[in-house]
């Protein structure tokens, strides 16, 4: 287990059009991608290959949101946005070069879930996006009823969720959504859920030097955290809403950084938009300067 160290000083940089997000001072700690990734049950609770293991898989089911179509008419998006996708094991082999030709410029790949599950396609998908010229990142599907936030953050950081200051690697994302295996809010109170998330993001910052992106819907955030405003100044927001706009944001965030706008897009289902030009996406990937 790596030694804990105090959290580094942070500064505020602009990540998206009109938005300010606090980033941790960069500590270049590249963590190797595992040579092999396997799916292992979480103490008998999590299936070896989760059937609802992808980002946003529970959102439409619980919130009754109709899934948006996958077409993106030319001119439908402002120039100050960047197309992206997110994938997990259910996507298998991904046609990255086809996505690249469609204009996709960044990708998040599911790395882990809970404390034991590792996406068996992670290495292929993660490097596939990179080799197609995309900026890539990894995400963790949280199971707060399985173990502490710190424990899951360390597991994630050491099994694909690490960060490298190569200008092509995004900070890891924490997927907070409805429990696909049991109680909606994982049996935690509002205060208990906020403490769990704080435990995860604090430990992830210690492990990597970066503030994790938080993926969540406004409805889940209100229901399971009591609409906490604690993380809006430190953690970029990734919001799922399958419609024509992002809608109301969770408390604490004045702006979103990434919008998951459809789960029925071309080639892979989940398509996203970064809220800013490509130059700002690179800032999110590269992080602040060492001397700031």
Q: Which residues are catalytic?
A: 86, 175, 177
Residue 72 CA, chain-centre distance (Å), reads: 23
* Interior angle at CA 239, CA 238 and CA 241, nearest 5: 150
| Crossing angle between the packed helical segments 190-208 and 218-225, to the nearest 10 degrees | 110
Is 255:275 a contact under the CB 8 Å cutoff? Answer: yes
Residue 84 has a CB neighbour count (10 Å cut-off) of 28
Cβ-Cβ contacts under 8 Å for 206 (sequence gap 6 or more)? 4, 5, 7
Separation CA 45–CA 23 (nearest Å): 35
Separation CA 169–CA 229 (nearest Å): 27
């Amino acid at each position: 287990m790596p030694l804990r160290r105090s959290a580094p000083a942070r500064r505020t940089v602009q990540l998206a059009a009109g938005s300010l997000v606090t980033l941790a001072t960069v500590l270049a700690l590249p963590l190797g991608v595992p040579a092999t990734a396997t799916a292992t049950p979480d103490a008998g609770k999590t299936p070896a290959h989760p059937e609802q293991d992808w980002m946003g898989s529970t959102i439409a089911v619980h919130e009754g949101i109709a899934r948006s179509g996958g077409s993106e008419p030319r001119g439908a998006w402002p120039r100050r946005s960047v197309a992206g996708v997110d994938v997990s094991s259910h996507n298998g082999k991904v046609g990255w070069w086809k996505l690249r030709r469609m204009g996709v410029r960044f990708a998040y790949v599911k790395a882990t879930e809970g404390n034991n599950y590792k996406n068996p396609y992670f290495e292929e998908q993660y490097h596939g996006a990179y080799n197609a010229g995309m900026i890539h990142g990894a995400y963790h599907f949280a199971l707060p009823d399985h173990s502490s936030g710190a424990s899951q953050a360390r597991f994630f950081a050491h099994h694909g969720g690490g960060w490298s200051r190569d200008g092509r690697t995004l900070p890891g994302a924490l997927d907070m959504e409805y429990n696909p295996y049991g109680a909606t809010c994982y049996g935690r109170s509002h205060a208990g859920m906020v403490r769990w998330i704080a435990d995860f993001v604090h430990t992830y910052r210690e492990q990597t030097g970066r503030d994790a992106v938080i993926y969540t819907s406004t409805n889940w955030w209100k229901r399971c955290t009591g609409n906490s405003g604690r993380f809006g100044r430190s953690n970029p927001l990734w919001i799922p809403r399958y419609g024509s706009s992002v809608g109301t944001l969770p408390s604490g965030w004045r702006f979103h950084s990434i919008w998951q706008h459809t789960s029925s897009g071309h080639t892979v289902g989940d398509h996203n938009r970064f809220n800013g030009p490509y130059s700002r996406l690179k800032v999110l990937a590269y992080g602040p300067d060492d001397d700031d």
